[in-house]
């Protein structure tokens, strides 16, 4: 499918899917080298980009490779030679890139990638969940989870600034289909707006025949740890840089973001914690009469790496209960946002530390509906303690089917 999108002369509102928005973000950032490999549901990003690059006014190259692995390799080569690069993938493709994600981060390359959250095979699934991106948690990439097409466009642009300021690669994540293929009204900023926000890349190091150096050679025990600590420190800097970027972006576009978005958290007794498009649905839930009565607030985690632990402690300290919806699972333990959050809350004094209830649901594209979120909240409100800590919610069984206990002790139910 070829998507033709007219280039706006000034900021204008277009009807774009999440994928088209992602492509626009990369294009407006004047990305010089794009390399990607098609995978559902990412394909329309690169199709849109291929089309947009037909009219790029700056020297650019679109490298059609034979695998996601090579896509990331091309990005590494192009980035370390000093150019601004972009790629996008999903699920199996991201998993195939895994080794190179370490290379990109370890090489300190400001690559920006959009990952369309898709469930991992087998069996084949093209529908959304977060296990693909969260499996890459420890590769040294910053991760931002978007919930709207506008989010995606804006965050792709902002990701370049974060990446190029810190030399840490950034992954911008959007849900398959519900975001990637759902058209929304998106304000596409004018090129000048993006140019004001994002100057051309000025790399602090690169492959340069005038200043030759080797990159990536043998790094012995004497220095490996220090070099990695620098990656860690730089990643942490993003926690402070992103709010600054949000502020600048808001000045230019009028759109404000936060690393952690909140609704009704001022007097919340129960907090619902979400990420991705579930947050959009959850916003509806927390506006319900019941939710308002029960003082349910909503927290959307946008920035996952670096993890905004301090901010979350600030937002959630003193809340009685926290319910975390994970569209993913670290098998044998918990949902990943849940465990990350719980770890962050450990830093609160006992009196202010909420009880944490984990819910794994919506895997493989299962709809996380208003009703299922309400179910999460009712369970959380009604249970005095999170025992067990994680509940799997979701399997729809025929009426009268025998109930089978889940390994974690929770009955599988709807």
Partner 1 sequence: MKKTDGRVQFETRGDLPATAQSLGGTSWNRTGSWKFLEPLYKDLTPPCSHVCLTGLDVVAMMHKVEQGDWDGAARVALDVNPFPAVTGRVCPHPCEQPCNRKAYGGGVVVHAVEAAVGDHKLAKAVRPELPEAVHPRVHVVGSGPAGLSAAVALRRLGHPVTVHEAAPEAGGLLRYGIPAYRLPTEVVRAEVAWVRSLGVEIETGRRLAREEIEALGPTIFAVGFGRSRPLGIPGEDLPNVLDGMSFLAGVRRGEETGLGAEVAVVGGGNTAMDVARTLRRLGTRTTVWYRRTEREMPAFRLEVDEAKEEGVGFRFLAAPVRVEASPTGRLLVTFVRMELSGKDASGRSKPVPVAGDEVTVEVDALVKALGEVLDDEVVPRGAATRDGRVGVAPDGHAGEAEAFPAGDCADGTGATVSEAIRGGRLAAHALHAELTGQAVPAAAPLADRGVDPAVAKFKQLNVARFRKEAPHAPDVVAPGERVASFAPVEGRLPAADAVAEAARCFKCGTCVECDVCYHLCPDMAISKKPGGGYVIDLAHCKGCGVCAQECPRAAIELRKST
Partner 2 sequence: MSGPMDALSHEEILRAGHLACPGCGVTPAYRWALKVLGRRTIVTAPACCFAVIDGAFPYSASSVPFLHAAFEAAPAYASGVRAALDVTGQHDVNVLVWAGDGGTFDIGLQSLSAAAERNEDMIYVCYDNEAYMNTGIQRSSATPRGAWTMTTPAKDGKREPKKHLGEIMAAHRIPYFATVSISHPEDFVRKLETAKSMRGFRLLHYFCPCPTGWKADSRHMAELGRLAVETGVFPLYEVFDGVRTVVNVAPAWTPMKEYLKLQGRFAQVTPPEVEAMEREARAEWARLERRARAEAEAEPAAAPR
Q: Which residues bind partner 2 (CB under 8 A)?
A: 32-33, 35, 58-61, 63-67, 69-71, 73-83, 85, 99-100, 103, 207-209, 212-220, 223
103 binds, among partner 1, partner 2, none (CB under 5 to 8 A by kind): partner 2
Both tokens of 270, joined, read: 């129960």
Residue number, 138 or 287, with CB nearest to partner 1: 138
- Pick one of 59, 217, 332, 399: the residue that binds partner 1 (CB under 8 A): 217
Tell me if 108 contacts partner 1 by CB under 8 A.
yes
Q: Does 106 bind partner 1 (CB under 8 A)?
A: yes
| Options 33-41, 85-93, 119-127, 218-226: segment touching partner 1 (CB under 8 A) | 218-226
- Indicate whether 231 belongs to the interface with partner 1 (CB under 8 A): yes
In degrees, to the nearest 5, what angle opens at C-alpha 256 toward C-alphas 251 and 262? 155
| 107 lies in the site for partner 1, by CB under 8 A | yes
Angle subtended by helix axes 224-253 and 149-166, to nearest 10: 130
Closest CB to partner 1 among residues 232, 292: 232
Instruction: From 185, 355, 361, select the one nearest 276 (Cα to Cα).
Output: 361
> How distant, in Å, are the alpha carbons of 107, 234, 307 from that of 276?
29, 25, 15
Residue 108 contact partner, candidates partner 2, partner 1, none, CB within 5 to 8 A by sort of partner: partner 1
Q: Annotate 106-120 with b (16+ C-beta within 10 A) or e (fewer).
A: bbbbbbbbbbbbbbb
Counting contacts by CB under 8 A, is residue 99 touching partner 1?
no
Query: Binding partner 1 by CB under 8 A: which of 227, 250, 370, 408?
Result: 227
Quick one: 60 or 182, whose CB is closer to partner 2? Answer: 60
- Which of the 8 DSSP states describes residue 244? H
**Separation of CA 225 from chain center:** 27
Tell me the C-alpha to C-alpha distance, in Å, between residue 338 and each of 11, 13, 86, 143.
38, 36, 30, 16
Considering only the stretches 214-222, 281-289, 306-314, 365-373, report the one whose residues sit in contact with partner 1 under the rule CB under 8 A: 214-222
Q: Measured from the CB atom, is 73 or 172 closer to partner 2?
A: 73
57-75 as b/e, with b when 16 or more CB fall inside 10 Å? eeebebbebeebbbbbbbb
Does the footprint of partner 1 cover residue 216 (CB under 8 A)? Answer: yes
CB 74 within 8 Å of CB 31 = no
Q: How do 12-16 and 184-188 pair as beta strands? A: antiparallel
Site string for partner 1, 187-206 (x = CB under 8 A): -----------------xx-
Distance in angstroms (rounded) separating the CA atoms of residues 20 and 26: 10
C-beta of 36: minimal distance to partner 2 in Å?
12
Give min distance, CB of 55 to partner 2, in A.
16
x/- binding map, residues 141-180, to partner 1, per CB under 8 A? --------------------------x-------------
CA distances from 100 to 40, 94, 121, 341 (A): 21, 10, 20, 28
Which positions from 32 through 71 interact with partner 1, judged by CB under 8 A? none
| Chain contacts with partner 1 (rule: CB under 8 A) | 106-108, 167, 204-205, 213-219, 223, 226-227, 230-231, 234
């Amino acid at each position: 499918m070829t998507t033709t999108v007219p280039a706006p002369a000034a900021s204008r509102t277009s009807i774009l899917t999440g994928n088209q928005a992602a492509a626009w973000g990369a294009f407006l950032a004047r990305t010089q080298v794009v390399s990607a490999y098609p995978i559902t549901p990412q394909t329309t990003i690169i199709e849109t980009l291929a089309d947009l690059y037909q009219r790029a006014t700056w020297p650019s190259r679109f490298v059609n490779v034979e695998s996601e692995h090579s896509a990331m390799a091309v990005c590494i080569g192009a980035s370390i030679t000093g150019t601004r690069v972009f790629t996008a993938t999903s699920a199996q493709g991201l998993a195939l890139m895994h080794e190179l994600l370490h290379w990109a981060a370890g090489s300190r390359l400001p690559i920006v990638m959009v990952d369309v959250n898709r469930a991992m095979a087998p069996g084949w699934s093209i529908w959304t969940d977060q296990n693909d991106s969260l499996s890459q948690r420890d590769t040294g990439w910053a991760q931002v989870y978007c919930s709207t097409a506008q989010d995606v466009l804006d965050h792709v642009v902002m990701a370049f600034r974060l990446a190029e300021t810190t030399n840490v690669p950034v992954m911008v994540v959007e849900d398959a289909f519900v975001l990637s293929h759902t058209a929304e009204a998106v304000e596409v900023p004018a090129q000048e707006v993006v140019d004001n926000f994002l100057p051309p890349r000025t790399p602090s190091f690169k492959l340069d025949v005038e200043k030759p150096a080797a990159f990536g050679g043998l790094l012995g025990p004497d220095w490996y740890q220090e070099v990695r600590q620098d990656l860690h420190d730089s990643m942490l800097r993003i926690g402070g840089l992103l709010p600054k970027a949000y502020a600048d972006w808001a000045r230019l576009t009028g759109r404000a973001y936060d690393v952690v978005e909140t609704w009704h958290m001022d007097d919340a007794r129960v907090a619902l914690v979400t990420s991705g498009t579930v947050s959009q649905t959850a916003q509806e839930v927390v506006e319900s009469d019941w939710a308002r009565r029960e003082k349910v607030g909503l927290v959307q985690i946008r920035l996952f790496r670096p993890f905004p632990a301090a901010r979350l402690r600030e937002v959630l300290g003193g809340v009685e209960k926290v319910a975390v919806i994970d569209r993913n699972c670290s098998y044998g333990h918990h949902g990943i946002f849940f465990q990350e959050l719980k770890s962050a809350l450990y830093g609160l004094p006992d009196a202010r530390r909420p009880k944490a209830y984990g819910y794994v649901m919506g895997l493989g594209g299962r709809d996380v509906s208003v009703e299922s979120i309400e179910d999460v909240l009712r369970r959380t409100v009604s249970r005095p303690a999170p025992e067990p800590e994680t509940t799997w919610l979701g399997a729809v069984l025929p009426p009268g089917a025998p109930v089978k206990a889940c390994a974690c002790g929770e009955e599988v139910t709807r």
